[in-house]
Structure 1
């Protein structure tokens, strides 16, 4: 039997905001979308558990240079908790190890609000055994499945907000905004203990990461049903993951020097993160046209590169935008 010819990979640059389905790991989702896009280079922006759904930005080409930005960004989740039961894993995948009665004197509007308030702000969390954190080269969940308990150091995380969306019977739905590294399963367990009845997580949906949300996200099923041109049209710009950072636009000569990694003098206050642009190589006559060069920080009047695009990547962005140019005009030049 003749197998269909393997489709060649393409140099794509941008971000697909995927609404990850239930039951699929982040890497499995990435590989499925990468095959659909025929992308040469791809990466995801942080693990979302198979039992969780929601926002998973997938980076292609030049966008992979900024995946760490999304990894480090604050996150937003909608979490569904079941009160009155604790499990071995802290979520619905584990076995129930304790059941407690949920009574009105323990669980009511006032006690829920109070418990959420006490867990808001900077807190110390002990990572769960059923997590991907490594100990001596092995994931903690591997030890947990063998019945081995490893001592874990607590870590400081920030819960910016915990809002009660609904409460019906033994189920509570929360909207959570938190720093990176926050375990929502642990939050569910801690909330259950605050209430004195125990709890575990039965549903989790990521709704935001940094400056991007589920708005404009696409499901895997929808992607599979699209033509290649329709999928390409969904690619968000490379800088979408930097959208909440201030921007700096350089002149052509300054941009060329910046691309070599040289620091540039700027009359701007110190900033920890900025996105940097130069004039659009294909539209030099258009003062408003620009192209991403990379990221930087500003200290003592100097613009200091953090992550730079290569000239080929800059040209790739230009070509992908439909603004073809035979010679990229924005080439690195020495100072």
Structure 2
């Protein structure tokens, strides 16, 4: 019997940037991240906010120096297209759970005017109770792990904001409601679906979910794993956005080469600028992203800095 040839070892490399991935149905966010990380042969990578396996859509992945700014995307407002199935509530709040109650007869009496009125009640600041089927931790364990064991723990409501809640489609025959939502971080769309169903008096669960935006980034800018796999390495690298793309809405500050060196060493720099809580900082000749900071009392103060090695690697990668 012939010996099985060992799999070739993947030689990892320094890769820096942000990939806008369109996560497929059925994969966890970490599964998608690991697949992309292997394709890029990246030394370091992370994602910017978990999407459930049953959800698809925008999942920004950060590589190398960009991982230092993942929190910016985590904190950003999110956009979703959600499909609600009215008339049925489930144990999990989505289509995977067991049916708790079915009231199709009540749901068929619901018209579009009632749906609009119910949705309007959830626009603006609201309070949500995190569901048991969520990744929140209790004593070191995810709530969904406890829920699968039949354990329920006390949760505290959290304040979130629904900036936009638009009705896209109402399929009365199938009792399916499609909505577009723009919301603050930490909003549970499955909870929103259940709450809308409760307000209508017929119940509902989340039948489908697609993340369409994160901060200024839209899913139209994203690529699928299949598209990524079909490309060679150079073409894949060309898809990466610069690490500062996550900070694109922040004001920028440009420093001379001498001042840039001092800033990278962590020294505060005097600047003729008004106070600003968040800025992205660049050096000159060649222009290079140095990191993030803030301006207070006429001083530029570093928050997250790139290392000289990362900056040099990024300049080479950009050539």
Deviations, residues 155-211 of structure 1 (Å, cap 9, x unaligned) = 111111101111111111111011111000000001111111111001100011112
- SS at 1:77's partner residue? strand
Instruction: Report matched runs for 1:79-94 at 5 Å.
Output: 79-94=82-97
Q: For the structure 1 residues 253 and 186, does the alpha-carbon distance in structure 2 shift closer, same or farther, using more than 3 Å as the test? A: same
Q: Which moved more, 1:11-20 or 1:229-238?
A: 229-238
Residue 51 of structure 2, aligned match among 44, 48, 51: 48
Deviations, residues 257-293 of structure 1 (Å, cap 9, x unaligned) = 1111122222222222111111143xxxxxxxx2110
Q: CA deviation at 1:33?
A: 0.6
- SS at 2:221's partner residue? coil
Q: Which runs of 5+ in 2 are unaligned?
A: none
Q: Which residue of 2 aligns with 1:77?
A: 80
1:304 and 1:153 mapped to 2: Cα distance? 36
Q: Which residue of 2 aligns with 1:330?
A: none
Residue 187 of structure 1, aligned match among 184, 192, 200: 192
2:106 and 2:277 mapped to 1: Cα distance? 49
Q: Which moved more, 1:3-12 or 1:155-164?
A: 3-12
Pairs aligned (count): 314
Deviations, residues 300-335 of structure 1 (Å, cap 9, x unaligned) = 22222110001111111111111xxxxxxxxxxxxx
1:264 and 1:106 mapped to 2: Cα distance? 66
Q: Which residue of 2 aligns with 1:57?
A: 60
Q: CA deviation at 1:226?
A: 1.4
Residue 151 of structure 2, aligned match among 140, 148, 152: 148
Are residues 1:274 and 2:271 paired? no
When normalised by structure 1's length, the TM-score is 0.91
Q: Which runs of 5+ in 1 are unaligned?
A: 282-289, 323-335
Q: Which residue of 2 aligns with 1:176?
A: 181
Instruction: Report matched runs for 1:285-304 at 5 Å.
Output: 290-304=287-301
Q: CA deviation at 1:5?
A: 2.3
Instruction: Report matched runs for 1:106-255 at 5 Å.
Output: 107-169=110-172, 170-255=175-260
Q: Which residue of 1 aligns with 2:308?
A: 311
Q: CA deviation at 1:138?
A: 1.1
Query: Are 1:73 and 1:209, in contact at CA under 8 Å, matched by a contact in 2?
Result: yes
Q: Which residue of 2 aligns with 1:5?
A: 8
Over the residues paired in the alignment, what is the CA RMSD in angstroms? 1.4
Instruction: Report matched runs for 1:251-262 at 5 Å.
Output: 251-262=256-267
Residue 95 of structure 1, aligned match among 95, 98, 103: 98
- SS at 1:218's partner residue? coil
When normalised by structure 2's length, the TM-score is 0.95
Structure 1: which 4+ aligned runs deviate by more than 3 Å? Answer: 101-106
Q: Which moved more, 1:31-40 or 1:105-114?
A: 105-114
2:71 and 2:17 mapped to 1: Cα distance? 15
- SS at 1:267's partner residue? coil
2:109 and 2:70 mapped to 1: Cα distance? 43
